[in-house]
Amino acid sequence: MRTVRFLLEKEFKQIFRNKSILAMILVMPFMQLIIMPLAANYEVKNINLSVVDNDHSEYSHQMVNKVIASGYFRLVQTAQTFNQAMPKIESDQADLILEIPANFERNLIKEGNQKVFVAVNAINGVKAGLGASYLSSILRDYNEQVLMQWVQGSKIPITPNISITYSNWFNPSLNYRFFMVPGILAILVTMVAGFLSALNIVKEKEVGTIEQINVTPIKKYHFILGKLIPFWVLGNVVFTIGLLVSYFIYGIVPVGQLWVMYAFLFAYLPAILGFGLLVSTFCETQQQAMFIMFFFMMVFILLGGLFTSIESMPNWAQVVSRFNPVSYLIRVMRMVVLKGSGISDILPQIGVMAIFAIVLNTLAMFNYKKTS
Amino acid sequence: MWAISAINLKKTYGKEATVAVDDISFEVAKGELFGLIGPDGAGKTSIFRMLTTLLLPDGGNATVLGLDVVTDYKTIRKKVGYMPGKFSLYPDLTVLENLNFFATVFGTTVDENYDLIRDIYVQLEPFKDRRAGKLSGGMKQKLALCCALIHKPDVLFLDEPTTGVDPVSRKEFWQMLKRLKDQGITILVSTPYMDEASMCDRIALIQEGKILSINTPQAITAAFPSPIYAVKANNMFGLIQALQQQKEVSACYTFGEFAHVIYKEFPLSEIDMKNYLNENNLELQFYSSIEATIEDCFIRFLK
C-alpha cells in the first residue's frame, strides 16, 4: 500500500504540472455545459416558408398569417407560381412551399372542403418532418376555427371532437435543458475519465518511463491502482463542477439526493477508467489510443440515449446499448435529477457498473505485461 | 558463481524471424566491469532487455546472480539496476522527485544509500528542483545513473549510457563507473564507441547478434596478427585509392586524420612508402607503426 501511495503522489504531481490537462478539466465542463444545451435543441424554429397563393382571398390571407404567427415559420417569399417558388427550395433558401389553389375560399365555402399543397425540402430530415407536421397541425387548427365560425348557432356538432389536456410529469414546463444538461454532463465525465486514462499508460510507453517502471518490483495491480485512483478523483471533480454549473446557470436542482448520483459514479468511473486502461495497454502510441477511444466514444454517445431515446432504437441497438456504460449514466442522471429516484431505484444499474468495472480492470491488469 | 551468465541466448523478432541475438554465451564475474561493444543494431539492447527480465528469450537461458531470468524475474528486479539507452525518467518530475520516487518503489530512501550516489549527486544538487526533462544530456545520464543505483543493486545494467553525451561528460561518466566497480558492483555496459572499450575489464565484440570475440581489451588488441601503420598524406582520398592498389596491403581505411594500413606480412619502409606515394602524385606527411586499437580489431573481425 505504501507503494500505491507513492505512485499516487507521483501521478498527482504530474497531473498538476500538466497545464493542458488542468485546463481541460476545469474549462471543458464550463464550455460544454454553457454552449451545448443552448445550441443542441430538438425544437425546430425558423423554418423558411415560401407561399404560393393562387387565391388572394381573405381566407387564404388569414391562413398564411396564422402560420407565420405561430413563430416557427419565416416567410421568405410569396411567389406567383409554384415553379417560381421551386428555385428557392433548390437553392436551400426555403424549406417548405405552401401552395393555396385558386378559388380556395369560394370552394371552401361552397363545397365545405378544399385542399392545399405542401412541398417539403427533405434534405434535413428532422427539419422537414417537424416543419411539415407543425404546418399541418396549424392548418388543422385553422380548419377548426373556420368550422366554428360556420356552425355558430347551430346545435349539431359537425365532427366529434376529442380534446386532450397534458400534464407533463417530472419536467412540467417541458424545459428542454432539464433533459439535456444531465445527459451532457454524463458525456463530459465519461470523456474526461476515458481519454485521460487511455492516454496515460501509452504516454509512459511513448516516453519510455514504463521501461524503468517494469524493472522495479512494483506489482501490476499497484501500478493499475496508481493510475485508476487519480482519474477517479478527477472524474468526481469534473462531475461536481458540472453540477455547480448546471445549478448556477440553468438553475437545475436535482430532485433526488446528490449522494445517490455520487454513489453511482463511484461504480461508474472505475468501469470507464478500466476501459481506458485496457485500450491503453493495447496501444503503443498516444495517437492509436486516441483513435480507438474516439471510435468507442462515438458509439457510446450516439447509442447512449442522449439525443435519441434507446427505446425507439432497433432491437440490436438496444442490445448494444446494454453494454454501453454511458447509457446507464445518462439514464441514472435523468432518473435522479428529474424524477428524484433513490438509491434503491438505481441499485441494478450500480450492480451492472460494478461488473463492468471488475471485468475491464482485470482485463487491463492481465494485458499490461511487464515482460514482452 | 557468475554475476551474469548467458548460455546460447537467442531472440528473434517478427514473422520473418529477424535474428537479433544469435546463440550468444558469455559470463560476467562478480565485481567485473564488462563491456558489450558493437555498432547500432548489433543486438546489444535485446541482450540487456532479456537479462533485465523485460524480454523473454526465444532460446537458451540466462541467469543473473544465479537467478533464472524467466522464472526468478521477481527477485532479479529487486537486485539489479537498469539504465535504458533512451532517457526514461519522468520529464515532468524534478531531479529530486525522480530520485525519491525510484527510491520508494524499491522500498528504500535516498538517505539510506546516499553514500553510493554521493559523488554523482553532488554534481546534480544545484539542479535538484529542475524538471528532469529540462536537464542537459550529460546531466540526464547522471540522474538516470543515480536512479538506477538508488536501491544499491548488486548488478548494474547500463545500455549505451554515453550515447549522445559530450566527450568530457563521457570521460567523467566512465570514471564514475570505475568508482562504482571499486565498491563491488558488477557492471554490464554497452557502447558503440570503441574508444570506451579500453575502460572495461573485459569486452565482448558483437556484430549482427553474434559475439566476435571476448577477452580483455589488452588481449584483444595484442592478438592483432598483422603489422599496422598510420599514414597521412596531402590527399586522403588519393591515399586510400593508392594504398588499395599496393600488393603488400591487405586493408586500409580512414581513421580520423590518418589512414590505417594493415599489411599482409611485411610492412613497407618509410622510404618505400614515400616513393610509392610519389609515383601516385601524393606527398607523405606521416608514417609510423602503431598499436592496433579495438576499432582496428573490430574492423578486422568484420572482414
The per-residue pLDDT for A348 is 93
User: Domain boundary residue among A120, A151, A182?
Assistant: A151
Q: Are residues A218 and A300 in the same domain?
A: yes
Range of the domain at A343: 2-40+172-367
Q: Is residue A163 part of a domain?
A: no
The per-residue pLDDT for A115 is 82
Q: Is residue A211 part of a domain?
A: yes
* 3-state DSSP assignment of residue A165: coil
Q: Are residues A283 and A346 in the same domain?
A: yes
Pairing of strands A73-79, B67-68: unpaired
Q: Are residues A34 and A55 in the same domain?
A: no
For A208, the closest chain B residue by CA position comes to: B88
Provide the edge-to-edge strand list for the sheet that holds A47-53.
A73-79, A47-53, A96-100, A117-120
A372 min Cα distance to partner chain B (Å)? 5
* CB within 8 Å: B105 and A3: yes
Mean pLDDT to the nearest integer, B55-74: 91
Q: Is the pLDDT of residue B55 over 80?
A: yes
Pairing of strands B4-13, B18-28: antiparallel
For B53, the closest chain A residue by CA position comes to: A371
* CB within 8 Å: A14 and B54: no
* CB within 8 Å: A10 and B101: yes
The C-alpha cell 465525465 sits at: A189
Largest CA distance in chain A: 96
Q: Is residue A166 part of a domain?
A: no
CB within 8 A of B109, min separation 6: which ones? B100, B103
A217 min Cα distance to partner chain B (Å)? 6
**Residue pLDDT, tens place only, B165-221:** 888 888 888 988 999 999 899 999 998 888 888 889 999 999 888 998 899 999 988
pLDDT, averaged per 10 consecutive residues of chain A (372 residues), comes to 86 88 82 78 77 86 86 86 86 86 82 81 80 84 78 58 73 74 89 90 90 88 90 92 89 89 94 93 92 92 84 88 92 89 92 95 87 68
Q: B215-222: which pairs have CB atoms within 8 A and are 24 or more residues apart?
A: B217/B294, B220/B294, B220/B297, B221/B291, B221/B292, B221/B293, B221/B294, B221/B296, B221/B297
Cα gap A344→B287, rounded to integer Å: 95
Size of interface A-B (CB pairs under 8 A): 73
Q: What is the CATH number of the domain that holds A101?
A: 3.40.1710.10
Q: Which residues of A fall below an 8 Å CB-CB distance to B?
A: 2-3, 6-7, 10, 13-14, 17-18, 207-218, 370-372
* CB within 8 Å: B73 and A371: yes
Cα gap A272→A190, rounded to integer Å: 7
> In terms of DSSP H, where are the helices of B183-269?
217-222, 236-245
ipTM: 0.77
A323 min Cα distance to partner chain B (Å)? 35
Q: Are residues A146 and A218 in the same domain?
A: no
Cα gap B151→A78, rounded to integer Å: 86
Q: Are residues A65 and A179 in the same domain?
A: no
Q: Are residues A123 and A227 in the same domain?
A: no
Q: Are residues A127 and A262 in the same domain?
A: no
* CB within 8 Å: B92 and A214: no
Cα gap A28→A8, rounded to integer Å: 24
> In terms of DSSP H, where are the helices of A19-94?
19-39, 58-69, 82-90
Pairing of strands B284-289, B228-233: antiparallel
Q: Are residues A78 and A225 in the same domain?
A: no
Nearest-by-Cβ selection for A209 from B52, B74, B88? B88
**Residue pLDDT, tens place only, B25-34:** 999 999 999 9
Q: Are residues A208 and A142 in the same domain?
A: no
The per-residue pLDDT for A40 is 65
Q: Is residue A161 part of a domain?
A: no
Q: Is residue A59 part of a domain?
A: yes
Name the packing angle between helices A176-207 and A325-334 (round to 10°).
Answer: 140
B107 min Cα distance to partner chain A (Å)? 8
Mutation site for A-interface testing, chosen from B48, B56, B69, B88 by largest number of A Cβ within 10 Å: B88
Q: Is residue A333 part of a domain?
A: yes
Residues paired with residue B36 on neighbouring β-strands, in sequence order? B190, B204
Mean pLDDT to the nearest integer, B281-297: 89
Q: Are residues A116 and A8 in the same domain?
A: no
Cα gap B30→B186, rounded to integer Å: 5
The DSSP 8-state label assigned to residue B230 in this structure reads E
User: Domain boundary residue among A97, A117, A151?
Assistant: A151
Domains of chain B in sequence order: 4-220 (3.40.50.300), 228-302 (3.30.70.100)
Mutation site for B-interface testing, chosen from A11, A206, A207, A212 by largest number of B Cβ within 10 Å: A212
**What stretch of H or E contains A74?**
strand A73-79
Q: Are residues A62 and A20 in the same domain?
A: no
Q: Is A208 left (phi over 0), alpha (psi -120 to 50) or beta?
A: left
CA distances to A42, A46, A281, B36, B169 from A307, rounded to whole Å, are 9, 21, 32, 62, 62
B80 min Cα distance to partner chain A (Å)? 8
**Residue pLDDT, tens place only, B83-114:** 998 888 999 999 999 999 999 989 899 898 88
Mean pLDDT to the nearest integer, B145-153: 91
User: Domain boundary residue among A151, A182, A199?
Assistant: A151
Chain A residues with CB inside 8 Å of B84's CB? 208, 211-212
Phi, psi angle pair for A26, to nearest 5°:
-90, -40
- A352 contacts A265 by C-beta, under 8 angstroms: no
- A16 contacts A22 by C-beta, under 8 angstroms: yes
Residue ranges with strand state E in chain B = 4-13, 18-28, 33-37, 59-64, 67-68, 80-83, 155-159, 186-191, 202-207, 210-215, 228-233, 249-255, 258-263, 284-289
Q: Chain-wide mean pLDDT for chain B?
A: 89
Nearest-by-Cβ selection for B54 from A17, A18, A211? A211
The per-residue pLDDT for A139 is 83
Q: Is residue A156 part of a domain?
A: no
Task: Tell me the three cell numbers of residue A283.
Answer: 496501444
Q: Are residues A101 and A238 in the same domain?
A: no
Cα gap A35→A105, rounded to integer Å: 47
CB within 8 A of A319, min separation 6: which ones? none
Number of alpha carbons in the 13 Å side-chain half-sphere of residue B128: 12
The per-residue pLDDT for A363 is 93
Pairing of strands A117-120, A96-100: antiparallel
The per-residue pLDDT for A350 is 94
A91 min Cα distance to partner chain B (Å)? 55
Q: Which residues of B fall below an 8 Å CB-CB distance to A?
A: 52-56, 73-74, 77-78, 80, 82, 84, 86-93, 97, 101-102, 104-107, 131, 147
Residues paired with residue A78 on neighbouring β-strands, in sequence order? A51
* 3-state DSSP assignment of residue A255: coil
CB within 8 A of A279, min separation 6: which ones? A198, A289, A292, A293, A296
The total of structural domains in chain A comes to 2
The per-residue pLDDT for A62 is 86
